[in-house]
């Protein structure tokens, strides 16, 4: 149940709808936390029942009504509590490509190399995105709202992790491709 805290985190900046929350997530936390629209709606409903958020309907001219969620004092307290709680264990990861590679000894060299080259391209592209587009977005945010300067430092730290991660993936793929070519 960490999606809850992602939503509380955004609502702590300003009230917004489930739809807007999804859009914010897609351009900011998607790199390390994501959710489908339907899961966001369901989670908001549950959070309202728990008293962490409240909602009211806003009518619009010619558009469907918006259900705007606001964080409650209880929600703020829960969020602060969660933020201060230390993360004492590493999270287990799931990496589909590594699973495939682990069992690929029966494939021929060429098939493995094709797989690895494709993967290299994907990670390379993602690395570029973090280095340029994502970086620019954060810098603009920081420039437009100087009161969020501290926040922007942390946002950029999470972006930087993405950049380093993708670069590492590319480096590992280069290493592994070379190994397969020479030793396999």
Partner DNA sequence: CGCACCATGTAATGCGTTACATGATTTT
Partner DNA sequence: AAAATCATGTAACGCATTACATGGTGCG
CA-atom Rg of the chain in angstroms: 21
Q: Does position 139 bind a copy of itself by CB under 8 A?
A: no
In the complex, the smallest distance separating the C-beta of residue 158 from DNA, rounded to whole angstroms, is: 18
Nearer to a copy of itself, 49 or 94 (CB): 94
Residue 139 interacting entry, from a copy of itself, DNA, none, C-beta within 5 to 8 Å by type? none
**Cα distance between residue 57 and residue 59, in whole Å:** 6
Give the N- to C-terminal CA distance of the chain in Å, as an integer: 43
DSSP readout, 57-100?
EE--SSS--EEEEEE-HHHHHHHHHHHHS---SPPPP--HHHHH
113 binds a copy of itself (CB under 8 A): no
Helices 149-183 and 135-144 pack at an angle, to 10 degrees, of 170
Helix (H, G, I), strand (E, B) or coil at 15: coil
> Contact at 8 Å (CB) between 37 and 18?
yes
97 vs 107, beta carbon nearer DNA: 97
If binding is defined by CB under 7 A, does position 79 make contact with DNA? Answer: no
Query: Looking at the DSSP assignment, which residues form a beta bridge with residue 69?
Result: 16, 55
Residue 64 binding: pick among DNA, a copy of itself, none (C-beta 5-8 Å cut-off by kind):
DNA
User: What is the total count of residues that contact a copy of itself (CB under 8 A)?
Assistant: 68
Using CB under 8 A as the criterion, which residues of the chain lie in contact with a copy of itself when the complex forms?
2, 5-6, 9, 12, 28-34, 79-80, 82-84, 86-107, 111, 114-115, 118-119, 122-123, 126, 148, 150-151, 153-155, 157-158, 160-161, 164-165, 168, 171-172, 175-176, 179-180, 183-184
Using CB under 7 A as the criterion, which residues of the chain lie in contact with DNA when the complex forms?
1-3, 17-20, 34-39, 41-42, 45, 60, 62-68, 92, 94
């Amino acid at each position: 149940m960490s999606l809850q805290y992602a939503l509380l985190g955004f609502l702590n900046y300003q009230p917004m709808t489930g739809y807007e929350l999804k859009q914010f997530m897609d351009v900011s936390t998607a790199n390390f936390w994501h959710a489908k629209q339907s899961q966001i709606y369901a989670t908001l409903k549950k959070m309202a029942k728990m008293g962490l958020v409240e909602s009211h309907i806003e009518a619009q001219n010619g558009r469907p009504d918006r259900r705007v969620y606001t964080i409650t004092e209880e929600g703020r307290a829960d969020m602060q509590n969660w933020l201060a709680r230390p993360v004492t264990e590493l999270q287990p990861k799931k990496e589909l490509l590594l699973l495939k590679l682990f069992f690929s000894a029966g494939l021929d060299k060429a098939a493995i190399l094709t797989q690895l080259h494709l993967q290299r391209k994907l990670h390379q592209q993602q690395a570029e995105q973090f280095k340029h587009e994502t970086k620019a977005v954060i810098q603009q945010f920081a420039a437009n709202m100087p009161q969020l300067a501290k926040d922007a430092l942390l946002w950029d730290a999470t972006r930087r992790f993405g950049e380093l991660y993708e670069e590492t993936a590319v480096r590992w793929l280069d290493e592994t491709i070379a190994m397969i070519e020479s030793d396999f």
